[in-house]
Every structure is written in C-alpha cells, then in structure tokens.
Amino acid sequence: DQPFPLPRDLEGRRVVVSAGGTAEPLDPVRTLGNRSSGRQGYALARVAAQRGADVTLVAGTIADLDPPAAVDVRRVQTTREMREAVLDAAKAADVVVMAAAVADFRPTDLATAKIKKGDGEPTSVPLTRNPDILRDLVAQDVPGRLVVGFAAETGDEHSSVLDLGRAKLERKGCDLLVVNAVGAGRAFEMEDNEGWLLGADGTSEPLPMGSKAALSARVWDAVAQRLR
C-alpha cells in the first residue's frame, strides 16, 4: 500500500527519531502532558527502516501504535528522560529527527502523595522550563550529523505559518525544519498533514496534504540528499 517509491538510500545510516508527547508528573497519579499520538514519528521510523536505515525510535506518550518492524524502540515519559535517551542514541547517529511534542514545562514540585481536595488545596501549579533537546543536539555541533526539527504553527494576524517556521528554524539552528500548519481539526490525531520543509540552506518546499508516510518519505528524501 505504498504509492511512492522506497529507495534503499538510507542503507548503513543510523537514524534516531523521537515520537509522541512527553508527560510530566504532578503527583503519583497525575501528569501534565499533551495529545500527540506519535503517529508522525512512528511513520518516520517505519519508512527509514524500509529504506535501509538502522533506526532507534525514542517514544514518549503515544496512542496505541504497533511498533514498526526492525526498529529499536525505547520508551520514555518525561522530557528529561527523552533528552537522556535521545542524546545517548544520537552519539552514533547520522541523523536525528525530533518529531516529538516535547513538554516545554514541568511542575516545579512533585508531590509524593496524591493531591487532595479540601484545606490547603492548590489553586495553581508552579512550572519550571524543561531543557530543549533540539537545541542541545544542535549545540553539540557533531560534524556530518544532521538534525531535523518539527514545528506546529497556526499563524496569526501578523505572521504566516511559513514566516513563523523560517524564524523558528533560525532560532533553533537545525539543518531542516518540518513546519506543520495546525488549527482546529488539523494535524493532531489526524491521519493527514500539510506544511513546508525548510532547509538551513534557504530552501523551502511545500509538503502537500497527504499521509504521514508520504510526508516521511519527503523528509527522508531531503535527508538522503544532504547526507551524500
């Protein structure tokens, strides 16, 4: 059921893909997380393996997904766990793709017992900024290693999705940025995606509405071209 060609152009390449959300514990029964399903990251990992890559998939909180064949899946929960797993796998990698929806903040305090209603109940949750995994990967500046980021943008009255993506690519310093246009009923928990693939070299190509596997193929095409 693959309407697009699957070249073996990632043969012998080691790739790391992060997928899903991260979730930050608040007490023993509650977390602060997001609704990322992990489908895009899983599709990227599956397609990379089909194209011959040696794939490590670092998966946070995900929907009920089948693990892709011939992929080393490492499960994590928090942003700090994801950072550790990604940086470890990235040591031997030719490419790292951060498709995960990483929690930007975590509750500052972790209650050791379940938080109860009643006297002294909390009315707010103090938050602490999490590390930025993509930024840390870029800062390592490993020669020849490509770093690919993802961004979901809605755009606003001042800036288009494309402008916001271009600014984010520059801020993050990665080699490629996949910009997804999101909004009500788009991208999250959907089968289809649309957006742009932006290169640090100034290139930009539209990613038409299509399956997450098709989008993955476009990403690996761009990666394979730059690895040569």
Residues forming the annotated binding site for CTP? 104, 114, 131-134, 150, 168, 172
Can you spell out the DSSP letters for 113-131? S---SSTT--S---EEEPP
Site for ligand CTP in 80-99 (CB under 6 A): 98
Alpha helices in 144-211 (DSSP H): 161-172
- Residue in 34, 130, 180, 193 annotated catalytic: 34
Residue 50 engages ligand CTP in binding (rule: CB under 6 A): no
Four-point Cα dihedral 52, 60, 126, 154, nearest 10:
60
Interface pick for ligand CTP out of 9, 72, 104, 194 (rule CB under 6 A): 104
* Residue 104 binding Ca ion, by CB under 5 A: yes
Q: Is 49 in the site for ligand CTP (CB under 6 A)?
A: no
Interacting partner of 134 out of ligand CTP, Ca ion, none (Cβ under 5 to 8 A depending on kind): ligand CTP
Contact segment (CB under 6 A) with ligand CTP among 42-50, 127-135, 181-189, 217-225 equals 127-135
Sort 34 into a burial class: Cβ within 10 Å, 0-12 / 13-18 / 19+. middle
Contact with ligand CTP (CB under 6 A): which of 41, 149, 165, 195? 149
**Sole binder of ligand CTP in the list 17, 26, 134, 181 (CB under 6 A):** 134
Q: For residue 34, indicate whether it is catalytic.
A: yes
Distance CA 157, CA 167 (A): 16
Instruction: Classify residue 101 by its DSSP letter.
Output: B
CB-nearer residue toward ligand CTP: 11 or 156: 156
Q: Which is nearer to ligand CTP, 33 or 149 (CB)?
A: 149
- Token output for 145: 């290693």
Q: How many CA atoms lie within 13 A of 8 on its CB side?
A: 3
Who's near 71: CB < 8 A, 6+ residues apart? Answer: 45, 46, 49, 55, 56, 57
List, by residue number, the catalytic residues: 34
Contact residues for ligand CTP, defined by CB under 6 A: 79, 98, 100, 102, 104, 130, 132-134, 149-151
